[in-house]
Structure 1
Amino acid sequence: MNKLSISLIGVPMDLGQNRRGVDMGPSAIRYAGVVERIEALGHSVKDEGDIAISHTRKEQSPNTHLRNLEDVIDGNTKLGNKVNEVLEAGQFPLVLGGDHSIAIGTLAGLADKYENLGVIWYDAHADLNTAETSPSGNIHGMPLAVSLGLGHADLVNIRSYAPKVKPENVIIIGARSVDPGERELIKEKGIKVFSMHEIDKLGMTEVMNQTIEYFRERSVDGVHLSLDLDGIDPLYTPGVGTPVPGGISYRESHLAMEMLYASNLITSAEFVEVNPILDEKNKTADVAVALMGSLFGESLV
C-alpha cells in the first residue's frame, strides 16, 4: 500500500440500538491517538470532524418494527454523501463509529464509485436481519442486509439506488452469534462466512489467504473493511454493546490486518461499536487504534 491521504470521518451514532454511550466512540478513538498513530506510518490524515446526528430518540418508528428509523436514515444519508465527497477528492475514507448501523451510509457512499465492491464484515454477528427477522428492531443488526437491498425501502434506497453490494462479494469473518433468519439468508444468497469454527480449524493465516484470493479471483474494484470491535473476544474489547465470548484473539486480529495491508486490497475502512461507558480505561478504543496501525502498515519488526 502506498502512502495514503486519509480522511477521518466520525459518526457519533447510537440510534441503531438501545444502549447509550456508543455515540462517544469516535471521541474515544481520537483520544486513543488514531491520527498520531497513522501519521507516524507516513500517511497524511485529515480529520473531517463528525457527521451531525440527531440525539432525539424516538424508539420504535410508527408502523415499523424499527427503532429510530427516520434519524438513522438521516444520519446515514449525511454519511453517504460525505464518504462520496471524500472519494471524489481522492482520499481514503476511514469511518469511526458509532454503532454498526453506520455501515449503511458508508457503503451507500462507496457504491457510487465501485461497481464491483468487495466487503469484509469482521464481526461476531452477520447483521443480516430485516424488520421481519430481527428479535429487537435494532437497525445495527441490519446494515449488511440493507446494503444487499433487503429491508425497509427508505434504508435500502439511501442515495437513491440499491443494492449497494452483491452477496457474492461479501465475506463475513468471526461470526458466532447468528439468528435463524440470518442463517437462512446466508444459505439462500450463498454468502461466504468464516465462522469461529473455521478460524479455529483453519487458522487465521489460511482464512485471510482464502479471503484475499477470493477477492482477487472476483476482480473486485475495491474492498471495504467493516470491523466491529465485538468480532474480537471481549477479553480484549470489553467496551462493546453486544459482546460474545469465544471471539477472535488480539494477535489473530493483528495478523489479519497485517495481511490485508500486504495484500494492497483495502480501499476504505470503518471501525465501529466502541462504547466508552462499557469500557475499561479506554481499552477497546486502544485496540481499535492498534489494529488500524497494522492495517496501515505498522509491523512488529
Structure 2
Amino acid sequence: MLNKVTLIGAPTDIGAGARGASMGPEALRVANIGPILEGHGLEVKDRGNLSGPANPWLPPTDGYRHLPEVAAWNRLVHDAVYEELSDGRMPILLGGDHCLGLGSISAVARHCRDTGKKLRVLWLDAHADFNTSALTPSGNIHGMPVACLCGFGPRELIEIGGQVPAISPKWVRQIGIRSVDPGEKRFVHEQGLEVFDMRYIDEMGMRHAMELALATLDANTHLHVSFDVDFLDPEIAPGVGTTVPGGPTYREAQLCMEMIADTGRMGSLDVVELNPALDVRNKTAQVAVDLIESLFGKSTLMRPKV
C-alpha cells in the first residue's frame, strides 16, 4: 500500500436528490482525517477543494438531472485523481455525492491501463447505483455511476477516462446492498455484477462475504474502495441523504475495513454521500474517519496474525 496519500475535496451535491453532501469534505476535515492518517505514518497532502459548477437544482432533462454540471465535476475529479496516481500517490476523494465515483474510478481504470495492472472495485453502499435514465424517474445521477462506468449512460459520462466501457462489471464487488429498484435489479443480474447484499451478510457473515470479495487479489491488482457512508446502518451514521435501515453494524463495518487493510492492495479511495446537514454533532463524519483509519492499519486484533 502506498504511504503517500492526497486528500481531494469535491464539494458538490450535483448528482444527489437532497442538498448537503457538498459540505462533506469539510466535515471529514473537522473530524481530523488528515492528522489521524498522519498518525499512521502516512505522508498526507491536502489539495483542498476542487472548484466546479454550482448546483442549479433543476428537474430532469431527457432523463438526467444536471448532466452538464455532473460531467464537469467528474472531469475535474478524473484529472485530479489521475494526476495523483501518476505521481505515485494514493488519492482519497472526499465527496460530495456518489456520482463522483464515475470520475475517480475512470481515472483509476486509466491508470491501470497505463501500468498494466488489474483493477478490483469494492463498492460499499446501500444501493447498487446501476440505474439508467430508462430505469429511474428521478434522474439523479448519483444512482447511475456504476452503470455509466460499465458503458451504460450518456456519452458525456461514459467517455470520461478515454475508454468505453471504463470497467467491466466483472471487476466490481458490491457490499451491503439493500435498496435496489426492480428494473435495476434485473439489469444488475443481466450484467453479472457480484453483489453481497445484506441478506447474504446476514446468512453468511461479513467475514465470508469479504473473503469472496477480496479473493484472487495479487501483487498486480489495484484495489479501489468506493465508500458510500450510507453503507452503514443509520443508527451509527445518520448523516446521509438516502438512509436505508438494516445496514452493517459498527463491528461488521470494522471487520470489512480491516480485511481490506490486510490485503495491502488498496490504491485509491472514495468517501462520499456524507451530509452534515442531516448529521448529529458530526457523528457520521467521526465514524467514517474511524473506519477509514482501519483501512490504513488501525486494528482491533490482539492475537498474533497467522
Q: Please, what TM-score do these two structures have when normalized by structure 2? A: 0.94
Identity of aligned residues (%): 42
Q: After the TM superposition, which residues 1-301 of structure 1 pair with which residues of structure 2 at under 5 Å, given as runs?
A: 1=1, 4-57=3-56, 59-60=58-59, 62=61, 64-115=62-113, 116-216=118-218, 221-300=221-300, 301=302
Assess, with a 3 A threshold, how the Cα gap between structure 1 residues 182 and 214 changes in structure 2: closer, same or farther: farther
In the alignment, the residues of structure 2 paired with residue 31 and residue 171 of structure 1 have an alpha-carbon distance, to the nearest angstrom, of 31
In the alignment, the residues of structure 1 paired with residue 258 and residue 96 of structure 2 have an alpha-carbon distance, to the nearest angstrom, of 24
Q: Deviations for 1:182-216, whole angstroms, at most 9, x for unmatched residues? A: 21122111111100001011111111111111445
Checking the alignment, whether the CA contact within 8 Å between 2:12 and 2:55 is kept in structure 1 is no
CA shift for structure 1 position 266: 1.2
In the alignment, the residues of structure 1 paired with residue 220 and residue 227 of structure 2 have an alpha-carbon distance, to the nearest angstrom, of 19
Amino acid at match of 2:188: I
Checking the alignment, whether the CA contact within 8 Å between 2:36 and 2:293 is kept in structure 1 is yes
Q: Deviations for 1:137-186, whole angstroms, at most 9, x for unmatched residues? A: 10000011011111111111113322111111111100100111221122
CA shift for structure 1 position 134: 1.3
CA shift for structure 1 position 53: 2.1
CA shift for structure 1 position 277: 0.4
Q: Secondary structure at the match of 1:223?
A: strand
Checking the alignment, whether the CA contact within 8 Å between 2:11 and 2:95 is kept in structure 1 is yes
In the alignment, the residues of structure 2 paired with residue 29 and residue 5 of structure 1 have an alpha-carbon distance, to the nearest angstrom, of 18
Unaligned stretches of 5+ residues in structure 2: none
Q: Please, what TM-score do these two structures have when normalized by structure 1? A: 0.95
Checking the alignment, whether the CA contact within 8 Å between 1:261 and 1:296 is kept in structure 2 is yes
In the alignment, the residues of structure 2 paired with residue 13 and residue 175 of structure 1 have an alpha-carbon distance, to the nearest angstrom, of 24
In the alignment, the residues of structure 1 paired with residue 216 and residue 181 of structure 2 have an alpha-carbon distance, to the nearest angstrom, of 26
Unaligned stretches of 5+ residues in structure 1: none
In the alignment, the residues of structure 2 paired with residue 86 and residue 171 of structure 1 have an alpha-carbon distance, to the nearest angstrom, of 24
Q: Deviations for 1:234-277, whole angstroms, at most 9, x for unmatched residues? A: 00000000000011111111111111111112111111100000
Checking the alignment, whether the CA contact within 8 Å between 2:169 and 2:193 is kept in structure 1 is yes
Checking the alignment, whether the CA contact within 8 Å between 2:22 and 2:96 is kept in structure 1 is yes
Q: Secondary structure at the match of 1:213?
A: coil
Deviation above 4 Å: which 4+ runs of structure 1? Answer: none
Amino acid at match of 1:298: K
Amino acid at match of 2:187: L
Checking the alignment, whether the CA contact within 8 Å between 2:241 and 2:273 is kept in structure 1 is yes
Assess, with a 3 A threshold, how the Cα gap between structure 1 residues 182 and 61 changes in structure 2: closer, same or farther: closer
State the superposition RMSD in angstroms.
1.4
CA shift for structure 1 position 58: 5.1
Amino acid at match of 1:122: L
CA shift for structure 1 position 18: 2.7
